[in-house]
Amino acid sequence: MFQTDSIIIKGIAGKKTLRGEVHIKGAKNAILKAMAASILFDEAIKLQNISDTADIESMLDLLAGLGAKVKKERSKEVKRKDEEKDGGNGKKNDRNDKLFIDASNLSSTDLDPDISRSMRSSIVATGPLLARYGKVSFPVPGGCVIGARPIDLFLEAYKKMGASIVEKDGMFDITAPKGGLKGTDIFFTIQTVTGTETLMITAVLAKGTTTLRNCAMEPEIQSVAEWLNACGAKIEGAGTTTITIHGGKLLKAKKPYTAIPDRIEAASFLFLGALCADDFLVSKCEPRHLESTTNFLSNSGVPLVIGKDFIHIKGNGKLKNYSFKSTNIRTHEYPGFVTDLQPIAAVYLSQVSGESIIFETIFEGRFKYVDDLNKLGADIKIMNPREILVTGPTLCKALPAGQELTAHDIRAGFAIVLAALCAEGNSVIKNVHLIDRGYESLEKTLTSLGADVRRVHGEEVTD
């Protein structure tokens, strides 16, 4: 079940009236993997700096469905901040930023099919289940509709570790050999983020040494590996293209997992700040993980001050968006230009002067948002399934009466929100539940920056 909520945004028509600070939360795409890694432990684990997003809620439900004991809590710091915000009137706020998961004694190895079909990262749990319990059953995982997103690389790797796979009616039943999964050499023909994480986690319980080559190098991978190592794992090379894991032993919860700042959330708000804000601070972020974005924005002319854990957009109100330079983008694995940000960058490029090409190298179905941007007056041509041509500056029209905009996935959803902010008049955006998957209370954050945003609760429906 989810709610068909919409949000209504009053556009600021190209003016830079927003200002304030956005505190970046923990990285959803690291937390989800650390949660799945709870299956490697023989006691409860604690996770902190957790964002209150729908995907994390779904992963909790998935683990609870396997028999894990799960609990959410608010840290003292969050409690204090909430009270300050509410003027100490005791008004409850649901934001939890700590999780406890005890997956040491699971009762099932069958992933809930509905949750799996709605969230790609559910697949991360399949590896540790297989390694620890010798079997796992799950459907083809779903998630953001941004391309075919096959799971062949996971299946090939499980087979190389000795597993047998039976596929019937869209369900996979995988069993490990007697004596458990065996360490082996695995070469990923494509750099895959979730694939790298899943096999790295799986290999912690496989017998002997596993070497993963052509691995993805996203910072979330290194962050999870460092925590697992602090709890007894032996993982070398995470954050490079070759990872070696000496496996075979359950882990001890010697240290909580503290999530690194969400680089995609931070970068999303930097684009928003560049287009819509005068004085704007993105705080509690990790600028070293944001170089592809800060480099892009600086080259384009956005005035950035980069600190140790903050990025300040200063004196931006004096600069017209059409004075910023257009630049071509080619998406790339980390540390290159992030595929998740290309829809948001497309909105940016629609506001600046000149022509830019965006070439999407990772996913072949990630331009669904273009129609909606063109409805708002953008000039974007789809050249082929991998390439668009954006001509700016445009996109300041009010949405034609009776028309709505759609959030097609998490990041395209943010892009549409940004476009609606840049435009004139009121825009209605539907499918907000997809934005909620990756951004905690986006409408509250925007309101705190001075935007006029209203959420309209819809009917509860079944997906």
Report the catalytic residues. 144
Nearest approach, Cβ of residue 153 and ligand EPZ (Å): 3
- Token pair 């070497």 is at which residue? 211
In Å, how far from its chain's centre is CA 127? 20
φ/ψ (deg, to 5) at 280: -145, 130
Nearest approach, Cβ of residue 406 and ligand EPZ (Å): 16
* 331: DSSP letter: B
Q: Which long-range contacts (CB under 8 A, 24 or more apart) does 235-241 make?
A: 235/200, 235/204, 238/200, 240/215, 241/191, 241/213, 241/214, 241/215, 241/217
- Token pair 């005068």 is at which residue? 278
3 three-state secondary structure: strand
365 burial type by CB count under 10 A (0-12 exposed, 13-18 middle, 19+ buried):
middle
CA distances from 75 to 47, 99, 143, 247, 461 (A): 11, 10, 30, 34, 33
CA distances from 78 to 46, 109, 266, 463 (A): 17, 35, 19, 33
Alpha helices in 357-406 (DSSP H): 370-375
Q: Which is nearer to ligand EPZ, 131 or 151 (CB)?
A: 151
| Identity at 391, one-letter amino acid code | T
Nearest approach, Cβ of residue 36 and ligand EPZ (Å): 10
Closest-approach residue to ligand EPZ (CB) = 194
Binding-site ranges for ligand EPZ (CB under 6 A):
29, 32, 120-121, 144, 147-154, 190, 192-195, 216, 339-340, 362-363, 410-411, 438
Q: Which is nearer to ligand EPZ, 347 or 362 (CB)?
A: 362
Helix axes 263-276, 291-300, angle to 10 degrees: 10
Nearest approach, Cβ of residue 154 and ligand EPZ (Å): 5
Nearest approach, Cβ of residue 380 and ligand EPZ (Å): 20
Dihedral of CA atoms 396, 398, 359, 325 in degrees, nearest 10, equals: 10
User: What secondary structure, in 3-state letters, does 12-53 show?
Assistant: CCCCCCEEEEEECCECHHHHHHHHHHHHHECCCEEEECCCCC
Q: Which is nearer to ligand EPZ, 219 or 287 (CB)?
A: 219
Distance CA 120, CA 436 (A): 16
Nearest approach, Cβ of residue 55 and ligand EPZ (Å): 7
| Region label for 49, one of left (φ > 0), alpha (ψ between -120 and 50) or beta (otherwise) | left
Helix (H) or strand (E) holding 10: strand 6-10
Q: Which of 212, 217, 247 is nearest to 232 (CA)?
A: 247
The CA-based angle 226-266-25, given to 5 degrees, is 60
